[in-house]
Amino acid sequence: MQSPLDLTIASVLLFLSIALLAPILSFRQKYLVTISFVASALASLLAAAAGFLCVANGSTGSMTLPIGLPDLPFYISLDPLSGFFILLVALLGFIVSIYSIEYVQAFTARRSVTPLVVFYCLFMAGMLLVLISADAYFFMVSWELMAVSSFFLVCFEDDHPSNRRAAYIYLLMAHIGAIFILISFGLMAGFAKGFEDFSGFSFQAIRSSQFPHGWASIAFLLAFFGFAAKAGIFPLHAWLPEAHPAAPSNVSALMSGAMLKTAVYGMLRVSFDLLEITDWWWGGVVLVFGLLSAIMGVIYALMQNDLKRLLAYSSVENVGIIFVCIGLAMIFTSFQMGLLASLALIAGLYHSLNHAMFKGLLFMGAGAIIHSTHQRNMEHMGGLIHKLKWTAPLFLVGCLSIAGLPPFNGFVSEWLTFQSFLLSPALPSGLLNLLIPLGAALLALTAALAARCFVKVYGVSFLGQWRSNQQVQVHEVAWPMRLGMLLAASACLGLGVFPTYVLGWMDIIPEGLIGTKISLSAAESGWLWLTPVAADRASYSAPLVFFGLFAIILSVYVIFRSRTTPVRRAPAWDCGFGYVTSRMQYSSTSFSMPTRRLYGFLFNIKESVKSGVNPYFPMFNNRFLYHLKIRDRVWHILYKPFSDAAFWLARRASRLQHGKIQLYLLYSFITLIALLVFS
Amino acid sequence: MREGLYPVLIECLQVMTVLIGAPLFAGWIKALKCWSQGRSSAGLLQPFRDLSRLFIKETVLAENASWIFTATPYIVFGSAVVAGAIIPVLSVDLPLSAMADIIALVAIFAIARFFLALAGMDTGTAFGGMGSSREMMIGSLTEPAVLMSVFTVSLVSSSTSLSHMAHVLTSHTIELRPSLAFALMSFVMIALAETGRIPVDNPSTHLELTMIHEAMVLEYSGRHLALIEWANMMKLFLFAALGIACFFPWGIAGANEIWMLPAAVLLLVLKLALIGVFIVFIETMFAKMRIFRVPEFLGMSFLLATLGMISFFILES
Amino acid sequence: MSTSFAAEINSVLAALILLTSFGLLVQRRIYGLLHIFAWQGLLLSISTAIVGYTAGLHHLYISALLTLTIKVIVLPYILYLLIHRLRIHKEVEDMINIPTTMLIGIILVILSYHLMSPIRELSTLVTRSTLAVALATVMLGLLMMITRKKAVTQIIGFLAMENGLFFAATSATYGMPLVIELGVALDILIAAFIFGIFFFQIRTTFETLDLKAMEKLKEEE
Please list, residue by residue across A447-481, b when 16 or more beta carbons sit within 10 angstroms of its beta carbon and e when fewer do. bbbbbbbbbbbbbbbbbbbbbeeeeeebeebeebb
Among A437, A464, A563, beta carbon nearest to B122: A464
CB contact under 8 A, A434 and B310: yes
Q: What is the pLDDT of residue C213?
A: 67
- Positive or negative: CA dihedral A330, A334, A335, A340: positive
Q: What's the rounded mean pLDDT across residues A568-579? A: 77
| Pairwise pLDDT comparison (C44 vs C56), residue with the higher score | C44
| Residue C220 binned pLDDT confidence (cut-offs 50, 70, 90) | low
Beta carbons of A370 and A376 less than 8 angstroms apart: yes
Residue A47's pLDDT is 93
Query: Mean pLDDT throughout A337-366?
Result: 92
Answer for the pair B208, B215: CB distance below 8 angstroms, yes or no: yes
pLDDT of B1 strictly over 50: no
Cβ distance B67 to A465 less than 8 Å, yes or no, reads no
Output the CA torsion sign for C111, A287, A534, A413.
positive
Kindly tell me if the per-residue pLDDT of C126 is higher than 70: no
Between chains, do B307 and C19 touch, taking CB under 8 Å as contact? yes
| Spatial distance between the Cα atoms of C102 and B145, rounded to a whole number of angstroms | 14
The residue in chain B having the minimum alpha-carbon distance to the alpha carbon of residue A543 is: B99
Interchain contact B181–C (C-beta under 8 A): yes
For A280-331, how does the pLDDT look when each residue is reduced to its tens digit (9 = 90+)? 889 999 999 999 999 999 999 998 889 999 999 999 999 999 999 999 999 9
pLDDT at A518: 67
Higher pLDDT: A514 or A258? It is A258
Give backbone dihedrals phi and psi of A609, rounded to 5 degrees, phi first: -125, 125
Report ipTM for this prediction: 0.93
For chain C, what percent of residues have pLDDT higher than 90? Answer: 10
Query: At residue C64, does pLDDT exceed 80?
Result: yes
For A434, nearest residue in chain C (alpha carbons): C110
pLDDT of residue A198: 66
User: Would you tell me which residues 401-430 of chain A have a C-beta closer than 8 angstroms to some C-beta of chain C?
Assistant: 430
Alpha carbon distance A362, A368 (integer Å): 10
Q: pLDDT value at position C218? A: 67
Q: CB–CB of B145/A438 below 8 Å?
A: no
- Nearest Cα neighbor of A253 from A148, A99, A147, A390 is A99
If one compares A419 and B163, the residue with the highest pLDDT of the two is A419
Sequence-distant (≥ 6) Cβ neighbours of residue A657 within 8 angstroms? none
Q: Do residues C127 and C170 make contact, with C-beta atoms less than 8 angstroms apart?
A: yes
pLDDT at A292: 92
Q: Is C99's Cβ below 8 Å from some Cβ in B?
A: yes
Shortest Cα distance, chain C CAs vs residue B19, angstroms: 39
Query: What is the C-alpha separation between B107 and B100, in angstroms, rounded?
Result: 10
Over residues A131-186, the pLDDT tens digits come to 999 888 899 999 999 999 999 999 898 888 888 889 999 999 999 999 999 999 88
To the nearest whole Å, the CA of C107 is away from the closest chain A CA by: 9
Q: Tell me the average pLDDT across A32-50.
A: 92
Percent share of chain A, pLDDT over 90:
40
More confident residue, A574 or A229: A229
On average, the pLDDT of chain C sits at 81
- Listed residue (A188, A266, A268) closest to A227, CA to CA: A266
Instruction: Give the mutation candidate from A432, A434, A442 for the C interface (greatest C CB count, under 10 A).
Output: A434
Which has more pLDDT, A204 or A401?
Answer: A401
Instruction: Provide the percentage of residues in chain A whose pLDDT is more than 70.
Output: 95
- Compute the distance between CA of residue C32 and CA of residue A452 in angstroms, rounded to an integer: 36
How far C40 CA sits from the closest chain A CA (Å)?
25
Are A257 and A402 in contact, with CB atoms under 8 Å apart?
no
Q: Residue C130: helix, strand or coil by DSSP?
A: helix
Residue C212 has pLDDT above 80, yes or no: no
CB contact (8 A) between residue B151 and residue A458? no
pLDDT given at position A487: 94
Q: Which residue has the higher pLDDT, B118 or A60?
A: B118
Cα distance between residue A420 and residue A283, in whole Å: 14
Q: Report, as an integer, the average pLDDT of A664-679.
A: 87
pLDDT tens profile A424-451:
887 887 778 888 888 888 899 999 999 9
Mean pLDDT throughout C19-45? 90
Average pLDDT, stretch B106-129?
A: 91
Global pTM reads 0.90
Query: Worst-scoring range by mean pLDDT, A211-220, A301-310, A626-635, B192-201?
Result: A626-635
Q: Which chains neighbour A (Cβ–Cβ under 8 Å, 3 or more pairs)?
A: B, C
Query: Would you state the pLDDT for residue C124?
Result: 66
Contacting residues of C for B300, CB less than 8 Å apart: 26, 102
The number of folded domains in chain B is 1
Q: Give pLDDT tens digits for C192-204.
A: 778 777 777 777 7
pLDDT computed for residue A520 by the predictor: 61
State what percent of residues in chain B have pLDDT above 70.
Answer: 97
Contact A459 B122 (CB under 8 A): yes
Amino acid C60: pLDDT:
82
- Answer whether residue C66 shows pLDDT above 80: yes
pLDDT digits (tens, 9 = 90+) for A221-257: 999 999 999 998 988 888 999 899 999 999 999 999 9
Across the interface, whether the CB atoms of B182 and C19 are under 8 A apart is answered yes
CB contact under 8 Å between B175 and C110, yes or no, is no
Query: Looking at chain A, which residue has its C-alpha nearest residue B55?
Result: A560
The alpha-carbon radius of gyration of chain A (Å, integer) is 27
Mean pLDDT of A1-23: 86
**B56, pLDDT greater than 90:** no
pLDDT at A395 over 60: yes
Average pLDDT over residues A464-489: 87
Residue-level pLDDT at A345: 92
pLDDT band of A400, cuts 50, 70, 90: very high
The model's confidence at residue A128, banded by pLDDT at 50, 70 and 90, is very high
Task: Count each helix (H run) and each strand (E run) in chain C, helices first.
Answer: 9, 0
Q: Which member of A383, A556, A575 has the closest CB to residue B74? A: A556
Domain of residue B190, residue span: 5-316
User: What b/e string do you get for A138-155 counting C-beta neighbours within 10 Å, with b at 16 or more?
Assistant: bbbbbbebbbbbbbbbbb
Tell me the pLDDT tens digit for each residue of C92-115: 777 777 778 888 898 888 888 888
CA dist., res. C73 & res. C68, Å (int): 7
Q: Which residues contact A655 (CB under 8 A, 6 or more apart)?
A: none
Residue C214 has pLDDT above 50, yes or no: yes
Instruction: Give the per-residue pLDDT at A279.
Output: 83
Q: Are A126 and A178 in contact (CB under 8 A)?
A: no
